[in-house]
Amino acid sequence: MATNLKNLFKGKESKQEEMKEAKSLKSGMISKKQYVQGEKGEKGEKASTKSLMKTASKIKSGKETPMAYAKER
């Protein structure tokens, strides 16, 4: 299933949008690489690729839930 990254990563930085991004990653709709690419494409995102990949790995592995991710953002 192909997901349009522009529809998923809109740059609003709202809790709802962050939850949607994390759930898509967790469910396998997007890859970790697509997650990093989408986050980097959002205006104002200054995190390094390495830290974004680390976050993506935590979400994908279940060490961090989508809800916890959305709250910290």
Give the residue extent of every domain in the chain.
Answer: 15-21+51-73
CA 69 centroid distance within chain: 9
**What was the pLDDT predicted at 1?**
42
Confidence of residue 5 (pLDDT cuts 50, 70, 90): confident
Q: What is the pTM of this model?
A: 0.85
Q: What pLDDT is attached to residue 73?
A: 74
For helices 49-61 and 15-27, what crossing angle results, to 10°?
Answer: 70
Give the chain's radius of gyration (CA, Å): 11
Structure token pair of residue 4: 């349009």
Higher model confidence: residue 20 or residue 72?
20
Please write the tens of the pLDDT for every residue from 11-65: 777 899 999 999 999 999 999 999 999 988 887 778 899 999 999 999 999 999 9
